[in-house]
Amino acid sequence: MTVYKMTLQYDGTRYHGFQRQPKLLTIQGTIEKALTTMTKGKVVDVIGSGRTDAGVHALGQVISFDYPGDIPADKMVKALNSLMPRDILFVDGNWAAHDFNARFDTVSKIYEYRVALGRYTDPFLRLYTGHYPFKVDLNRLQLALEDVVGTHDFTSFEASGSVIRNKVRTIYTADLDTSNYPHEIRLIFHGDGFLYNMVRIMVATLLEISNGRRDVHDFLRLYDVQDRQQARLTAPASGLYLKKVFYPVNTVD
Amino acid sequence: MTVYKMTLQYDGTRYHGFQRQPKLLTIQGTIEKALTTMTKGKVVDVIGSGRTDAGVHALGQVISFDYPGDIPADKMVKALNSLMPRDILFVDGNWAAHDFNARFDTVSKIYEYRVALGRYTDPFLRLYTGHYPFKVDLNRLQLALEDVVGTHDFTSFEASGSVIRNKVRTIYTADLDTSNYPHEIRLIFHGDGFLYNMVRIMVATLLEISNGRRDVHDFLRLYDVQDRQQARLTAPASGLYLKKVFYPVNTVD
Q: What is the CATH number of the domain that holds A214?
A: 3.30.70.660
A interface test, pick of B77, B112, B124, B129 with most A CB neighbours within 10 Å? B124
In whole angstroms, how far apart are CA A2 and each of A67, A72, A173, A245? 5, 10, 35, 21
**pLDDT at residue A223 in the model:** 97
In angstroms, rounded to a whole number, what is the distance separating the alpha carbons of residues A157 and B22? 48
CB contact under 8 A, B126 and A87: yes
Are residues B217 and B141 part of one domain? yes
Q: Is B112 part of a structural domain of the chain?
A: yes
Q: Which of B52, B78, B105 is the last residue of a domain?
A: B105
Chain centre to alpha carbon of residue B39 = 29
Q: Chain B closest CA to A124's CA: distance in Å?
A: 6
Task: Tell me which residue of B200, B226, B230, B195 sits closest to B215, measured CA to CA.
Answer: B230
CB contact under 8 A, A122 and B89: yes
Q: Is B249 part of a structural domain of the chain?
A: no
Are residues B230 and B122 part of one domain? yes
Q: Is B32 part of a structural domain of the chain?
A: yes
Are residues B130 and B159 part of one domain? yes
In angstroms, rounded to a whole number, what is the distance separating the alpha carbons of residues B98 and B135? 51
Torsions phi, psi of B7, nearest 5? -110, 135
Are residues B147 and B85 part of one domain? no
**pLDDT at residue B2 in the model:** 96
Are residues B95 and B123 part of one domain? no
Q: Does the annotation mark A53 as catalytic? A: yes
B interface test, pick of A7, A86, A91, A240 with most B CB neighbours within 10 Å? A86
What are the DSSP calls for B172-190, one per residue?
EEEEEE-TTTTTEEEEEEE
Are residues B101 and B112 part of one domain? no
Q: Is B171 part of a structural domain of the chain?
A: yes
In angstroms, rounded to a whole number, what is the distance separating the alpha carbons of residues A205 and B243? 37
Are residues B156 and B43 part of one domain? no
Q: Chain A closest CA to B222's CA: distance in Å?
A: 34
In whole angstroms, how far apart are CA A1 and each of A48, A68, A96, B62? 19, 5, 11, 60
Give the confidence band of A253 by pLDDT, cuts at 50, 70, 90. Answer: low
Give residue ranges of A with CB < 8 Å to any B CB. 9-11, 57, 81, 86-89, 120-124, 126, 128
% residues pLDDT > 90 (chain A)? 92
Are residues B137 and B34 part of one domain? no
CB contact under 8 A, B89 and A10: no
CB contact under 8 A, B86 and A124: no
Minimum-distance CB partner of A86 among B86, B88, B121: B121
Q: At what angle do helices A27-38 and A73-83 cross, to 10 degrees?
A: 110
Vertex A120 angle, CA A119 and A121, to 5°: 135
Q: Is the pLDDT of residue A145 over 70?
A: yes
Q: Is A251 part of a structural domain of the chain?
A: no
What chain B residue is nearest to A8 in terms of C-alpha separation?
B123
Q: Is the pLDDT of residue A180 over 80?
A: yes
What CATH number does residue A99 fall under? 3.30.70.580
Q: Is A250 part of a structural domain of the chain?
A: no
| B108-116 vs B130-131, strand pairing mode | parallel
The pLDDT mean for chain A works out to 95
> Which class for B103: exposed (0-12), middle (13-18), buried (19 or more C-beta within 10 A)?
middle
Minimum-distance CB partner of B89 among A10, A11, A123: A123
What dihedral do alpha carbons A22, A23, A25, A29 form, nearest 10°? 40
Q: Is the pLDDT of residue B212 over 90?
A: yes
ipTM > 0.95 (yes/no): no
Q: Is the pLDDT of residue B240 over 70?
A: yes
What dihedral do alpha carbons A218, A222, A225, A231 form, nearest 10°? 110
Q: Is A253 part of a structural domain of the chain?
A: no
Q: Is the pLDDT of residue A91 over 90?
A: yes
B87 chain-A contacts, CB cut-off 8 A:
123, 126
Task: Tell me which residue of B137, B167, B164 sits closest to B151, measured CA to CA.
Answer: B167
**pLDDT at residue B253 in the model:** 64
Q: Is B252 part of a structural domain of the chain?
A: no
A238 chain-B contacts, CB cut-off 8 A:
none
Q: Chain A closest CA to B90's CA: distance in Å?
A: 9
Minimum-distance CB partner of A9 among B10, B81, B123: B123
What chain A residue is nearest to B120 in terms of C-alpha separation?
A89
**pLDDT at residue A34 in the model:** 97
What are the DSSP calls for A152-197, one per residue?
EE-GGGS-TT------EEEEEEEEEE-TTTTTEEEEEEEES---TT
What chain A residue is nearest to B124 in terms of C-alpha separation?
A11
Q: Is the pLDDT of residue A156 over 80?
A: yes
What chain A residue is nearest to B77 in terms of C-alpha separation?
A120
A interface test, pick of B14, B86, B183 with most A CB neighbours within 10 Å? B86
In angstroms, rounded to a whole number, what is the distance separating the alpha carbons of residues A232 and B239? 40
CB contact under 8 A, A57 and B124: yes
CB contact under 8 A, A120 and B81: yes
- Top pLDDT among A173 and A231 is at A173
Q: Is the pLDDT of residue A24 over 90?
A: yes
**pLDDT at residue B109 in the model:** 98
A104-124 confidence digits (pLDDT tens): 999 999 999 999 999 998 999
Are residues A142 and A76 part of one domain? no
Question: Do A240 and A200 touch, CB atoms closer than 8 A?
Answer: yes
Q: Where are the beta strands (DSSP E) in B68-199?
A: 88-95, 108-116, 130-131, 150-153, 168-177, 184-191
CB neighbour burial string for B162-191, b if at least 16 within 10 angstroms, e if fewer: eeeeebebebeebebeeeeeeebbbbbbbb
Are residues A117 and A195 part of one domain? yes
The arithmetic mean of pLDDT across residues A71-95, rounded, is 97
B10 chain-A contacts, CB cut-off 8 A:
123
Q: Where are the beta strands (DSSP E) in A11-101?
A: 47-48, 57-67, 88-95
Q: B51: helix, coil or strand?
A: coil
The arithmetic mean of pLDDT across residues A55-82, rounded, is 97
% residues pLDDT > 70 (chain B)? 100
**Which amino acid makes up residue A153?**
D
B26-80 confidence digits (pLDDT tens): 999 999 999 999 999 999 999 999 999 999 999 999 999 999 999 999 999 999 9
CB contact under 8 A, B126 and A81: no
Minimum-distance CB partner of B123 among A89, A121, A124: A89
The arithmetic mean of pLDDT across residues B89-117, rounded, is 97
Residue numbers of the domain that contains A147: 108-244
Give the confidence band of B162 by pLDDT, cuts at 50, 70, 90. Answer: confident
In angstroms, rounded to a whole number, what is the distance separating the alpha carbons of residues B174 and B191? 9
Q: Which of A84, A105, A126 is the last residue of a domain?
A: A105
Q: Where are the beta strands (DSSP E) in B12-146?
A: 47-48, 57-67, 88-95, 108-116, 130-131
A111 is in an annotated binding site: yes
B242-253 confidence digits (pLDDT tens): 999 999 987 776
**Residues contributing to the annotated binding site of B for substrate:** 111
Residue B160 has a CB neighbour count (10 Å cut-off) of: 8
Residue A212 backbone class (left: φ over 0; alpha: ψ -120 to 50; beta: rest): left
Are residues A91 and A42 part of one domain? yes
Question: Do A228 and A155 touch, CB atoms closer than 8 A?
Answer: yes
The arithmetic mean of pLDDT across residues B174-194, rounded, is 97
Minimum-distance CB partner of B87 among A10, A123, A128: A123
Q: Which of B82, B105, B128 is the last residue of a domain?
A: B105
A33-65 confidence digits (pLDDT tens): 999 999 999 999 999 999 999 999 999 999 999
On the CB side of B13, CA atoms within 13 Å amount to: 15
Are residues A122 and A101 part of one domain? no
Provide the domain count of chain A.
2
Query: Exactly one of B53, B105, B147, B218 is catalytic; which is it?
Result: B53
The arithmetic mean of pLDDT across residues B140-149, rounded, is 98
Task: Tell me which residue of A83, A86, A106 sits closest to A242, measured CA to CA.
Answer: A106
Question: Do B219 and B204 touch, CB atoms closer than 8 A?
Answer: no
A87 chain-B contacts, CB cut-off 8 A:
123, 126
Lowest mean pLDDT among A197-201, A227-231, B141-145: A227-231
A79 chain-B contacts, CB cut-off 8 A:
none
Minimum-distance CB partner of B123 among A88, A120, A123: A88
Vertex B78 angle, CA B74 and B81, to 5°: 135
